[in-house]
Structure 1
Amino acid sequence: MADREALLATLVQELSIERERLREQLDGLGSASLATGEFDSNFADSSQVTAERGELEALRSSLEEQIKDVERALSKVPEGRFGVCELCSNEIAEERLEAMPTARYCIVCANTKSGHR
């Protein structure tokens, strides 16, 4: 049990660092540029501008989703629910948590939830 507690503590620390890294990346995208449409005036045509906006919005959305996942996982720490399956309340396997610290479900529930049997 002490090994699991140590692992969970390490993962929580790593998630906290990851949250800050993701926030910095998101801040680095320059939210004002995307919102106001300030793109490089040297773009050859509007299709390039559209493609660039699409890429930035997709990246922003991905980063926001990752931050949400990390924050969801970290919010479980105070109540002792980090590393516990949201469906069956069993502990999530350490190997799964090491691979995906934001895992919400044990492997059985994750497979059942996605339709696999």
Structure 2
Amino acid sequence: MTTQVQPDERNWLDELRTALTHDFEVQTVRLTQLTADTGDPGEAHTQDALIAATRQNLNQISDALRRIAEGRYGTCERCAAPIPRERLEVLPHARFCVPCQQKRAG
């Protein structure tokens, strides 16, 4: 489902796309550093957790950028309702509106 974007929303989306792209670049550098760092073998579990979290961040950012490009950003993937801008400002990678997210979380 494609949503119509108003001019003021387009500016916000452009700024968000820029910020997400920057975050993606930062997280990519971080992942490169984490995977190249041999570090202390006793800290391997911590490094593994950091790598997993960084990969998850990259996936979330990438998915949000794809939804923006496809015109689906800000629409709940479950019920197709608009996701409030306030939620997207806090969680730019949000895929679901709050009620649907709560149902998913159980």
TM-score (norm 2): 0.85
Computing the radius of gyration over CA atoms, which structure comes out larger, 1 or 2? Answer: 1
The alignment status of 1:68 with 2:59, answered yes or no, reads yes
Q: Give the CA RMSD over aligned residues.
A: 1.6
Q: Say whether the 8 Å CA contact 1:4–1:94 is kept in structure 2.
A: no
Alignment-derived partner of residue 56 in structure 1: 47
Gaps of 5+ in 2: 1-5
Counterparts of 1:9 and 1:62, CA distance in 2: 26
Q: What residue number does 2:19 align with?
A: 14
- Does residue 90 of structure 2 align to residue 99 of structure 1? yes
Report if aligned partners of 2:13, 2:68 keep a CA contact under 8 Å in 1: no
**Aligned-pair distance for 1:32?**
4.2
Give SS of 1:76's match. helix
Is the contact made by 1:84 and 1:91 (CA closer than 8 Å) also made in structure 2? yes
Give a deviation string over 1:40-71, Cα, whole Å, max 9, x none: 5xxxxxxxx33x11111110110001001100
TM-score, structure 1 length as denominator? Answer: 0.77
Q: Percent identity?
A: 32
The question of whether the paired residues in 2 share the 8 Å contact of 1:19 and 1:67 is answered with yes
1:111 maps to: 102
Between the aligned partners of 1:67 and 1:83, the Cα distance in structure 2 is 19
Counterpart position of 1:46:
none
Encode CA deviations 1:60-91: one digit per residue, 9 max, x unaligned.
11000100110011111222011111111122
Consecutive unaligned residues of structure 1, counting only runs of 5 or more, are 41-48
The corresponding residue for 1:79 is 70
Q: Choose from 8, 11, 24 the match for 1:3.
A: 8
CA contact under 8 A between 2:81 and 2:97: conserved in structure 1? Answer: yes
* Aligned length in residues: 101
Which residue of structure 1 aligns with residue 3 of structure 2? none
- Counterparts of 1:21-36 in structure 2, within 5 Å, are 21-29=26-34, 31-33=35-37
